[in-house]
Structure 1
Amino acid sequence: MKSARDNDFVYQAVYRYLTTLIDDAGGGTAVRMPSLRQLADRLNVSISTVQYAYSLLEKEGRVYSIAKSGYYAQALFSMDAPGNGNDLLETVYVNARRPGMCVLSADEPASLQPLDSPLLTLERELLRQYPRQLQTFVQPCGELELRVALAARYTSSTEHFWHADDIYIGADLRGVLEILISVLELRHASVIVESPCDWVILRLLESCGVRVIEWPLLAEGVLDLSVLQSLLENEPVRLVLLSSVLSMPHGKGFSHERQQAAAQLLNQHGVWVLENDCYSELDERNDSQRLRSWLDPERLLVFSTFEKFIGAEAPFGFVLSRHWREALQRHFLLRAFRLSPIRQKAIARLLNGGRLDQHLFVLRRMLGERRAVLIQVLHERLGDTLQIVEPQGGATVWVRSLRPVDMANVFRRLLKQQIIVAPGELFSLQGLHADHLRISALHHGERDLPSVIGLLGDALRLSPGQ
């Protein structure tokens, strides 16, 4: 067991073993798990190591303990397929986490090559260096060392520069965006959002009472500036939310000319811009510019997360803002985010030491190779069925059916065969993109990709039109 992975902590190997046992147990009635001593003897590890692995699973809701009885595998919550009154997005989420599913919809780029081992190694070294009393000192807006590193990474000129005091770090992206909605007073305000748009952002804006105006991309991934001009002239727009360089899930980047033209229009109308920078580190073009390079820096906010390019061990979200300092500090303090200062320091060391840039070079190459295989199979099997957008980065591919198809029916057919796709309707609040799908080849498990794509083709052909 101790040699399962040379660069892993032992508890991680125990954790993986336990998740295998839980998956094998299935999602029916609760199943009793091995005792601490049984596992310690079986795996040749300490009882404390097994106990720590169990505690992680207990926090995740995968197991629960009963006094004087032991640990039990938590039965997985089941949800019916859409069409029976349940929410489609919830159905995607729940079924994607079921054992044995072929998840053809995953957008977790870092899972292909996570930085968890270097990150945890750095964290372990830092734990030895810093006294315990410093480890418990929490800065509500984020660890200063990480904020300094981010400010340096985002500074590109004497005009487009950032200070550590302009950086605010939260436990996750959703929490940071919720704070922004409160600070910017977006409830009941009009916000323009490019469409298709990440469903997390759309659902959050909707739940907070924001009036979302969708600005749809054209088929070739270009935004129609005449539509934006009309919206800015005829709507009381409080904010425009745009991608930095890659528009996801479309996967296309805007040309410099298109960026400049959009920025000029936004600057003319004096509108605030919230830039989505979550995917910019995954852009595979060498000459791309960030949208913020052309925008008025005095009317700009930027948000992002480490999770897309570092992995699940770095779920923190962050925002850059030169304004609303007092309000942002108050909201972050009231949120009382309990972020590990040592973990944040470890991320800062990855940024400053060049390790992250090395990782990104490899990750982008691996994602490109994986997408190329998927696109080749799509062309071979479904070239006469789908229009395939060639992305310029990221983990996913955006496709459109060449004939009207009920994608909810496609989803249901594939779900019965334990395959998960992401219908295009998830990426709009106004019923747009109903003939689209977002797919990826990150987590198709043990199943052969060509055969899975063949099943997708069958579902597309057998599903009725809209």
Structure 2
Amino acid sequence: MNNDKTDFAYQMVYRYLSRLTHELPEGPAVKLPSLRLLARRLRVSISTVQNAYSLLEKEGRICSVPKSGYYALPQPCNDVHCEGEDLLARFQAGTRRPDMFVFGADEPTLLQSLDGPLLSVERDLMRHYPCQSDPRYQPFGDIELRTALAAYYTSSTEHCWHPDNVFIGPDKTGVLKTVLKALQLRDCAVLVESPCGWNILRTLQSFGVRVIELCTDADGVIDPDELEGLLRHSEVKMAVLSSRMDTVRGRIMALEQRQRLAEVLNRHGVWVLENDSQGGLCFDEQFTPLRDLIDPEKLLIVGAFDKTIGLEAPFGYLLTRHSRALWHRQLLLRSFRLPPIRQKAIARLYNSGQLDKHLHALRLCLQQRVEHLGLMIDDFLGDDVTFERPQGGATIWLESKHRVDMGRVFERLLEQRIVIAPGELFSVRGLHQQSLCLSGAADWTQNIESMLVHVRNALMQERLG
């Protein structure tokens, strides 16, 4: 009798949980009631609930997380269509879908943006600058914004900039293409730190540039001796390097190391393109930027506003002291026509101090978020990955402890409507295949714990050997 009663109780709990997990919406894993809570709710013993959970776990319908509990895993969804065979195309298609949880996009301003104040300033400006029938064409960008950027980048009498040194483009990619065209770098060798942002890599490839990847170590450090050898034997024409920190991994290079790096670059006389899109997102603001160490006649600074202000400020910009006539000619040929009022509104954010206040708040928010995400990664993925706490930015770079097929991990998570950024995206020659990037600026109204459960399971299921 006792055995029959136990069997009945066990089956009852199993059926209850089966129906509960079946009725859950498609998407991320959902945490299930604790053993004690469910036992009290259904008026059965804890061991009976434990038996039901164990069977569901064997069936692959739920999973257990130490010190956290049980999570329901929805069955893979086969109606997710992310077009293209190319990994980047599938990643971008996934990030565009509204039903996806984007866990790998580097968009810091999703946490906090200046889009609202920007549009408010723009509305005020519209009253003072009514549309003209024949507005003046400013091919190099609005002079007010160029002046604001020149002031922002001036740090001393030695490191000063003027509006004539500043040029505005439609976005960072457009500015980078202008640089490649002006310096006639098609079919030349360009050095990049690796991992490197995929937008830079693909833009270089589109110009037929031979990309040479120089890997940074876990601290974001480039070996000066290795750099010396590459510059001596590879006929590198330009090096694309971060301003203060490795923008993918958020690692800051010590001043002494940056000085050694700059000495090598200056000695070989190569162009140095400083990528400053996220220089303002270092948690510690005291680090000297690379640009202060580079020969000013060989220095180009490229940046954009979207990573610090928001998506309503898509423009890119270029700062250079080299041959204004060359850049004037290139920009006239490209005929960029940008809305002047939006540019003026961005300039007012600089000049009023609003941007500085915003960046201070955004850095604090990012630091808290990535620290929290790091703790959760330790709890849920500690047996599967290693990582260094970032010193800036919104993302955390993870290295798998085990050999995995990260492409299959990406695809498996895509079926669960989760988009991660596999490390291969950040290389043109197949590097970083055991890495992935997660963002602390993802949508935290979702259950982040359950997302990490999915990531952990995908990493375990796609281990090699």
TM range (shorter): 0.7 to 0.9
Q: How does 1:115-130 map to 2 (within 5 A)?
A: 115-130=114-129
Shift of the alpha carbon at 1:163? 1.2
The residue type paired with residue 120 of structure 1 is L
Instruction: Report if aligned partners of 2:219, 2:252 keep a CA contact under 8 Å in 1.
Output: no
Distance in 1 between residues matched to 2:408 and 2:236, nearest whole Å: 36
**SS in structure 2 of the partner of residue 132 of structure 1:** coil
Shift of the alpha carbon at 1:451? 1.0
Shift of the alpha carbon at 1:335? 2.1
The residue type paired with residue 328 of structure 1 is W
Matched, 1:316 2:315: yes
Shift of the alpha carbon at 1:287? 1.8
Distance in 1 between residues matched to 2:194 and 2:81, nearest whole Å: 28
Shift of the alpha carbon at 1:395? 0.8
Unmatched runs of 5 consecutive residues or more in structure 2: 1-78
**SS in structure 1 of the partner of residue 300 of structure 2:** strand
Partner in structure 1 of residue 156 of structure 2? 157
The residue type paired with residue 430 of structure 2 is G
Instruction: Report if aligned partners of 2:220, 2:245 keep a CA contact under 8 Å in 1.
Output: no
Shift of the alpha carbon at 1:80? 4.5
> Residues 135 and 120 of structure 1: is their aligned pair in 2 closer, same or farther, counting only changes over 3 Å?
farther
Instruction: Report if aligned partners of 1:135, 1:341 keep a CA contact under 8 Å in 2.
Output: no
The residue type paired with residue 409 of structure 1 is R
Distance in 2 between residues matched to 1:444 and 1:307, nearest whole Å: 18
Distance in 2 between residues matched to 1:221 and 1:130, nearest whole Å: 46
Distance in 1 between residues matched to 2:316 and 2:430, nearest whole Å: 29
Shift of the alpha carbon at 1:201? 0.3
The residue type paired with residue 439 of structure 1 is L
Instruction: Please give the TM-score of this superposition, normalised by the length of structure 1.
Output: 0.80
Shift of the alpha carbon at 1:286? 3.2
Partner in structure 2 of residue 206 of structure 1? 205
Runs of 4+ in 1 over 3 A off after TM superposition: 78-82
Distance in 2 between residues matched to 1:462 and 1:382, nearest whole Å: 14
Shift of the alpha carbon at 1:444? 3.7
**SS in structure 1 of the partner of residue 396 of structure 2:** strand
**SS in structure 2 of the partner of residue 136 of structure 1:** coil
Distance in 1 between residues matched to 2:217 and 2:124, nearest whole Å: 50
Instruction: Report if aligned partners of 1:79, 1:91 keep a CA contact under 8 Å in 2.
Output: no
Partner in structure 1 of residue 291 of structure 2? 292
Shift of the alpha carbon at 1:79? 7.8
Partner in structure 1 of residue 46 of structure 2? none
- Measured against aligned partners, the alpha-carbon deviations of 1:121-165 in whole angstroms (never above 9, x if no partner) come to 111111111243288323011000110111111112222221111
**SS in structure 2 of the partner of residue 147 of structure 1:** helix
Partner in structure 2 of residue 383 of structure 1? 382
Aligned identity (percent) is: 48
Shift of the alpha carbon at 1:112? 1.2
Instruction: Report if aligned partners of 2:244, 2:282 keep a CA contact under 8 Å in 1.
Output: yes
Shift of the alpha carbon at 1:248? 1.7
- Measured against aligned partners, the alpha-carbon deviations of 1:172-224 in whole angstroms (never above 9, x if no partner) come to 11111111110011101111110000000001101110011100012332211
Partner in structure 2 of residue 234 of structure 1? 233
Larger Rg: 2
**SS in structure 1 of the partner of residue 238 of structure 2:** strand
Bigger mean CA offset, 109-118 vs 135-144? 135-144
Unmatched runs of 5 consecutive residues or more in structure 1: 1-77
Distance in 1 between residues matched to 2:380 and 2:133, nearest whole Å: 58
Distance in 1 between residues matched to 2:307 and 2:419, nearest whole Å: 20
Partner in structure 2 of residue 404 of structure 1? 403
Partner in structure 1 of residue 10 of structure 2? none
- Measured against aligned partners, the alpha-carbon deviations of 1:217-269 in whole angstroms (never above 9, x if no partner) come to 12332211111011111111111111000112111011111111111111122
Distance in 1 between residues matched to 2:445 and 2:413, nearest whole Å: 16
Matched, 1:146 2:145: yes
Partner in structure 2 of residue 87 of structure 1? 86
- Measured against aligned partners, the alpha-carbon deviations of 1:251-310 in whole angstroms (never above 9, x if no partner) come to 101111111111111112222211111110101113211011111112111000001000
**SS in structure 2 of the partner of residue 274 of structure 1:** strand
Instruction: Report if aligned partners of 2:110, 2:442 keep a CA contact under 8 Å in 1.
Output: no
Instruction: Report if aligned partners of 2:305, 2:314 keep a CA contact under 8 Å in 1.
Output: yes
Bigger mean CA offset, 218-227 vs 180-189? 218-227
Instruction: Report if aligned partners of 1:79, 1:94 keep a CA contact under 8 Å in 2.
Output: no
**SS in structure 2 of the partner of residue 361 of structure 1:** helix
Matched, 1:189 2:161: no
Partner in structure 1 of residue 11 of structure 2? none
Distance in 2 between residues matched to 1:136 and 1:421, nearest whole Å: 44
Distance in 2 between residues matched to 1:338 and 1:347, nearest whole Å: 16
Bigger mean CA offset, 127-136 vs 379-388? 127-136
Distance in 2 between residues matched to 1:449 and 1:135, nearest whole Å: 52
> Residues 267 and 186 of structure 1: is their aligned pair in 2 closer, same or farther, counting only changes over 3 Å?
same
**SS in structure 2 of the partner of residue 192 of structure 1:** strand
Matched, 1:373 2:372: yes
Partner in structure 2 of residue 106 of structure 1? 105
Partner in structure 1 of residue 459 of structure 2? 460
Distance in 1 between residues matched to 2:446 and 2:120, nearest whole Å: 33
Distance in 2 between residues matched to 1:224 and 1:459, nearest whole Å: 34
Count the aligned residue pairs.
387
**SS in structure 2 of the partner of residue 303 of structure 1:** strand
Instruction: Please give the TM-score of this superposition, normalised by the length of structure 2.
Output: 0.81
